[in-house]
Chain A
Amino acid sequence: DQQVKQNSPSLSVQEGRISILNCDYTNSMFDYFLWYKKYPAEGPTFLISISSIKDKNEDGRFTVFLNKSAKHLSLHIVPSQPGDSAVYFCAASPEGSYKLIFGSGTRLLVRP
């Protein structure tokens, strides 16, 4: 029973364009959402997060949008750069817990 789903295993975009990565969740008790980025042979690194009381959080080229009614969040990267090519994981934290529940990841390729 996957509580956090990333339905697109891969995404390819042109350098300079927008990358949009999507994530859906089923548990309404999640109160904190995060995106992690992972390069091969390295551990995931934190990218950006959003609390359930907000609907948008922006950090430079990265923006996360949260739609609680649809139980959907997305990560926008503008403009995309070749160095952004990596696997992106969506994660959520249940209320009252510190553990993270991860999606299965989306592999982003930014073409020069």
Chain B
Amino acid sequence: GAGVSQSPRYKVAKRGQDVALRCDPISGHVSLFWYQQALGQGPEFLTYFQNEAQLDKSGLPSDRFFAERPEGSVSTLKIQRTQQEDSAVYLCASSLNPGGEQYFGPGTRLTVT
């Protein structure tokens, strides 16, 4: 398992539920990114961590979205009170160093009904 892994791969949530999406980056990678990909669109940046520090959260669409990486490895993206417009694939990427090549996980497909 040398790549970025994400879980769950698929998640169905009823509108108003909270969800938590997990990302396991490549071991030793300093940088971690979250992106949101709506159907038919390219990935859109959500937030960036360097180790445990969240250095950029400019892409988070609302205060319902929260991300953490407390020990500088695994990261969790939490969405509170999910809405239908939150339905998308959530991609995690990691890179060895800031500015390095970003390796993407397979994504979590979130469907809010």
Contacts and interface: CB of A to CB of B under 8 A. Distances in A.
Contacts, number: 52
Interface string A80-112: 000000000101000001111111110000000
A45 B45 contact: no
| Listed residue (A36, A99, A100) with the most chain B CB atoms within 10 angstroms of its CB | A99
Interface residues of B, number: 25
Contacts of B4: 43
A96 to B, nearest CB: 10
B43 A44 contact: yes
Given A98-B31, A99-B56, A99-B59, A43 B42 contact: no
Contact of B42 (A41, A49, A102): A102
| Listed residue (A41, A42, A43, A45) with the most chain B CB atoms within 10 angstroms of its CB | A43
Contact of A104 (B41, B95, B103): B41
Interface of B: 4, 31, 33, 35, 40-45, 48, 56, 59, 91, 93, 95, 98-99, 101-107
6 contacts: A4-B42, A100-B43, A101-B45, A102-B35, A102-B44, A104-B40
